[in-house]
Structure 1
Amino acid sequence: MQRVLIIGPCGAGKSTLARTLGEQLGLPVFHMDQLNWRPGWVESTKDEIRARLNDIVTTDRWLIDGNYGGTLAERLARADTVVYLDYPVGLCVARLLRRIWTYRGRSRPDMPEGCPERFDLAFLWYLVRWNSGPRVRTEAVLRGHEDKVIRLKTPADLNHWIATLGNPA
């Protein structure tokens, strides 16, 4: 595993896994949220994100967490491994609400400074509708790349998989 994507619903734990797996594999970690957002919750343009991603994915070693469907195909083409946290939406909603409470008013470690955690009804609605929208689009992009995908359905599956990796770094 030299070029790794971590994808899944909001609140699944992608960024937490990215930090853990990046350390275990000795890979530089990039969070899509940090590449996208600027202080004050100002979103980067698609061209800005693509340029930042190009600088990363053209290198030999990286780990990127986040879905960002508009750039998934380009990242997927270069990835050798995709870890898909395919968790139940109910679990992700609970984790998202816990994250909002834990980091309320402060930026999370995987976000740029100046983007304090906040409750966003539209974001929650996006997650609640994951199975009927974002999941369908994600699955469509993954078609043809199944040999790269490690699909984990529960946190227990993730813990088991992590344990099987040993410490290659």
Structure 2
Amino acid sequence: MEKIAIIGSSGSGKSTLARRLGELTGLPVYHLDVLHWKPNWEMTSKEEQRVIQTDLVKRPEWIIDGNYGGTLDIRLDAADMIIFLDFKRTLCLYRVMKRALQYRNKRRPDMCEGNKEHVDLDFYKWIWHFPEDQRPGILEKLDRVSSDKKVVWLHTPKDVEDFINKVKEKDE
């Protein structure tokens, strides 16, 4: 387990899991939200995103969290483990609302400097429609990944805790 891609809906806990795994394994963690959002919520171009991710996955070890469907193949092709946080939309929405309150007018640790937490109706709609709009494409891509890659599918927070505990046991 040297190259880990973590994917899932907003609010599923990708960044939190990435940080926890990074602490347990010592692998460097890269949050795509930090790398792809410039200050004042200006998004990097698709071309810049591809360059950034192509360079990142060449590194010998990493944990990368984020979806960014247009560049997902870069990470899936390079990862030796893919973790899909396939949580219910209601839990993801709840977590995003909670996060919005927790970081209101502040920067989250997994965002770049100059971007304070904000959520709008379109973002909530994106999360709500993730199972119909994004999930099928992710499942297609996961079906096509090489059989030598380990795909971990986590459906609940308990699944995440069980997975973390297995990683801890391996490190002991």
So what's the TM-score if we normalise by structure 2? 0.94
Alpha-carbon separation, structure 2, partners of 1:64 and 1:77: 13
Letter in 1 for 2:32: M
Summarize deviations over 1:86-119 as a string: whole Å, max 9, x none.
1111111000100011101111000001111012
Partner of residue 171, structure 2: 168
Give the drift of 1:60.
1.1
Give every structure 1 segment of 4 or more consecutive aligned residues whose post-TM-superposition deviation is greater than 6 Å: none
Alpha-carbon separation, structure 1, partners of 2:138 and 2:107: 27
Partner of residue 123, structure 2: 123
Partner of residue 159, structure 2: 157
Give the drift of 1:144.
2.2
Alpha-carbon separation, structure 2, partners of 1:108 and 1:126: 20
Give the drift of 1:51.
1.2
Long gaps (5+) in structure 1: none
Partner of residue 110, structure 2: 110
Long gaps (5+) in structure 2: none
Give the drift of 1:149.
1.0
Counterpart mapping for 1:66-105 below 5 A = 66-105=66-105
So what's the TM-score if we normalise by structure 1? 0.96
Q: C-alpha root-mean-square deviation of aligned residues, in Å? A: 1.3
Aligned residues: 169
